[in-house]
A = this chain, B = another copy of it.
């Protein structure tokens, strides 16, 4: 089980690094070329959401991305450490229509989750051990 772990301080620039790494590892894991755009976008959304929350609540804590090249699947987990209070407000149910955005200047984290949910077939969101959410996404691989 080959694993890559990326931990980065909560800065927008690092979201690009995370996308880059996710796409590179996904490709090597055997994720279909046609799906790599989806991986890049979904991982980017999950990381943008985490960076956004960290900057507001815990700017000194890193965001953690875990990439696992499993037997027949490529698994990504993006974990933030935002305080639990914040968590409820951006669950999947919270935002059905982005059209409802109240303050579009700061994109609510829920939009990112909505995009992920609309894009990726296999997604799970769980409450982290101490705080925050873990967004788990899985894609099938060829081998």
Residues of A within 8 A of B (CB): 1-9, 11, 13-14, 16-17, 20-21, 24-25, 28, 62
Taken together, the copies of this chain in the complex come to 2
Tell me which residues across on chain B come within 8 A of A5, comparing CB atoms: 5-8, 62
Known: A17-B24, A17-B25, A20-B21. A2 touches B6 (CB 8 A): no
Which 8 pairs from chain A and chain B are nearest by CB?
A5-B7, A4-B8, A2-B9, A3-B9, A13-B28, A2-B11, A17-B24, A6-B6
- Shortest distance from the beta carbon of A79 to any chain B beta carbon, whole Å: 14
Tell me which residues across on chain B come within 8 A of A14, comparing CB atoms: 2, 4, 25
**In the complex the two chains form, what is the Cα distance from A65 to B15 in whole Å?**
18
Tell me which residues across on chain B come within 8 A of A24, comparing CB atoms: 16-17, 20
- Shortest distance from the beta carbon of A61 to any chain B beta carbon, whole Å: 12
A2-B11, A17-B25, A17-B28 given; 7 more Cβ-contact pairs under 8 Å: A4-B6, A4-B7, A4-B9, A5-B6, A5-B62, A6-B7, A21-B21
**In the complex the two chains form, what is the Cα distance from A62 to B16 in whole Å?**
23
Tell me which residues across on chain B come within 8 A of A2, comparing CB atoms: 8-9, 11, 13-14
**In the complex the two chains form, what is the Cα distance from A2 to B14 in whole Å?**
9
Q: Considering only CB atoms, which chain B residue lies closest to A64 in the complex?
A: B5
